[in-house]
Amino acid sequence: MRDAQGFAPPEGRQKPAIRLRRIAPALVAAALLTGLAAYVVPRGYEAGRLFSIVDDPSEVAGRALDEKFNAFVAAREIDEALAAKDSDLAQSFVDLAAERKVALDPAQTDKANVAVALVIIQLPT
């Protein structure tokens, strides 16, 4: 039942409130699915990456270092190693930081190098 221009008569048209009531559940469902996808997709991607490296211990360790090893952790571990008089461990953290391109305080690097040098000097020949 349309008029000559192809429009429905005014009494046959739906009111905007009725249209909104019909489409609202679909909009809510779309919003919920979008939120759920934003939560699930990154975790699925991460799980896939972890699953692909599970058989390679060096990749697993490298990935853990990428996530956790930073300048703060390196500085803390170097200080603890020097406090325990373990200059080799301190130097290994300095080397790891250099390998991973983690910026360290030059004074801290120098302390580790001096500690290693002192151990080398004190070794009996």
Q: Count how many domains the chain has.
A: 2
Residues 38 and 93 occupy one common structural domain: no
Considering the domain architecture, whether residues 63 and 36 belong to the same structural domain is answered as no
Nearest-angstrom CA–CA distance, 60 and 111: 31
Boundaries of domain holding 82? 58-122
* 109: pLDDT strictly greater than 60: yes
Residues 102 and 117 in one domain: yes
What is the per-residue pLDDT for 78? 93
Inform me whether the pLDDT recorded for 20 exceeds 90: no
User: How high is the pLDDT of residue 100?
Assistant: 92
Mean of pLDDT over the chain: 86
In this predicted structure, the answer to whether residue 14 has a pLDDT above a threshold of 80 is no
- Is 43 in the same domain as 63? no
User: Is 116 inside a domain boundary?
Assistant: yes
Q: Does 5 map to a domain? A: no
pLDDT reported for residue 99: 92
Sign of CA dihedral 25, 28, 32, 34: positive
